[in-house]
Chain A
């Protein structure tokens, strides 16, 4: 199973970098994240050595539309070209195909995150930051990426239409991002019954992400990210298998 997974991972990764997708994504992400850091984040003025307010706080906002934009072709392309029929008749399990594709996309995001290293160098040059904390924040950001990517994969499995997939997954990712903000939560609570507010609050990435950024990522945050991701990927395999029959 793992040889098939690795081969699919390799092919997908090569395909991201042989087309413009990976480069466009990385450049846009760097422009946005670093641009925000130095403008709205007031990086220079506040002297925020942990990068928490100037840099990391904004990342979920970019992920919530950039991750679906890259992930929307995860399955629809395979269906459009019919190559799903090749993969489906090769001796690999569906879950290996899903994991291979998922990990390849996640690797592209890791590259994008790693390439934000200039800010990290800069804070080390200007001040005396807690580098373990920064590392933990990067881990949190990557976990948010993984979660959004898994959500996109699940939505993408449902529809061949990339636009529908993009719109729907951006919606879900936006809900998961926004539901963590007090004003949003308060207005939701005034409109909807209490349990709906609680469901929404438990689906938000923000709380878990924030604890990673503050340096005390807890086991239950890690568990939340991983189980969310696993559930969506497992859902993807159920949908893909059901689609064939």
Chain B
């Protein structure tokens, strides 16, 4: 579903992502771990087609992102790290715009909006202006936007950032549930989340994949049964 081969991104002289390859199958949830500045967001931006890679290839749902960007993009749902929104719109207006952009119309659109409002618990704020929402609600509105066209591939950049513990739990549950029939790539700094929601985890550091395996396998590798120890062992503490 997602196939990334030899992906590299350089910003000037700086290598943000260095020759990364991995795949995410249908029905798989891949957790993306790594310290700040490791290149997680950059990788996700390339997979979603926002920035072009310096070299390497990306295939989503069988479409090459460089050759057929629009076809590839239409089967991806993306939650950017900063959860961007149009502040002057209402939640409903924003979701309606996103649904339109994804080609949904009429009754189909209405249904899709109702569904994501329910899954992301937005019932209370449907007609509220986005600029007056709390941070967590803004984050959930942006998550709703990623789910609206029921995409086969989900790319979520820190989906639980800024959510309260109840909502964190709900989102993890949602990821696990959606992961049964979709391919999901999500990044996080919360190591328990990996064990709670992922089938597989990848640890990146300075643009390289340093570990790749199931949460259990990674835990075993650490020596004392905790991801935290492994994470600290394989990643550098200071970042350029």
Contacts and interface: CB of A to CB of B under 8 A. Distances in A.
A83 B84 contact: yes
A91 B84 contact: no
A107 to B, nearest CB: 17
Contacts of B74: 91
A121 interface: no
Give the secondary structure class of A's interface: helix
Given A7-B97, A11-B97, A90-B102, A81 B87 contact: yes
Contacts of B48: 89
B76 A89 contact: yes
Contacts of B73: 89-91
Interface residues of B, number: 30
Nearest to B145: A86
B126 interface: no
Given A83-B84, A92-B101, A244 B50 contact: yes
Interface in B63-114: 69-71, 73-74, 76, 78, 80, 82, 84-89, 93, 97-98, 100-103
B103 A245 contact: no
Nearest to A4: B101
Interface string A1-37: 0011001101100110011000000000000000000
Contact of A81 (B45, B69, B84, B100): B84
B56 interface: no
A88 B49 contact: yes
Contacts of A93: 70
Contacts of A88: 49-50
Contact of A7 (B69, B80, B86, B100): B100
B70 A82 contact: no
A3 B109 CA distance: 15
A18 B51 contact: no
A91 B71 contact: yes
B86 A81 contact: yes
Interface residues of A, number: 24
B52 interface: yes
A244 B45 CA distance: 10
Contacts of B93: 14
B101 to A, nearest CB: 5
Contacts of A244: 50-52
A15 B86 contact: yes
A85 interface: yes
Interface in A214-234: none
A4 B102 CA distance: 8
A3 to B, nearest CB: 7
B149 to A, nearest CB: 10
B101 A90 contact: yes
A85 B50 contact: yes
B52 to A, nearest CB: 5
Nearest to A19: B88
A89 B71 CA distance: 11
24 contacts: A7-B101, A11-B86, A15-B86, A18-B88, A19-B88, A81-B85, A81-B87, A83-B84, A83-B86, A85-B78, A85-B80, A86-B78, A86-B80, A89-B76, A90-B73, A90-B101, A90-B102, A91-B69, A91-B74, A91-B101, A91-B102, A244-B50, A245-B51, A245-B52
Given A15-B86, A90-B98, A245-B54, 12 more contacts: A7-B97, A7-B101, A14-B93, A18-B88, A81-B84, A82-B82, A83-B85, A86-B80, A89-B50, A91-B101, A91-B103, A92-B70
Interface of A: 3-4, 7-8, 10-11, 14-15, 18-19, 81-86, 88-93, 244-245
* 6 closest A-B pairs by CB: A82-B84, A91-B74, A89-B48, A91-B70, A91-B73, A7-B100
Interface of B: 45, 48-52, 54, 69-71, 73-74, 76, 78, 80, 82, 84-89, 93, 97-98, 100-103, 145
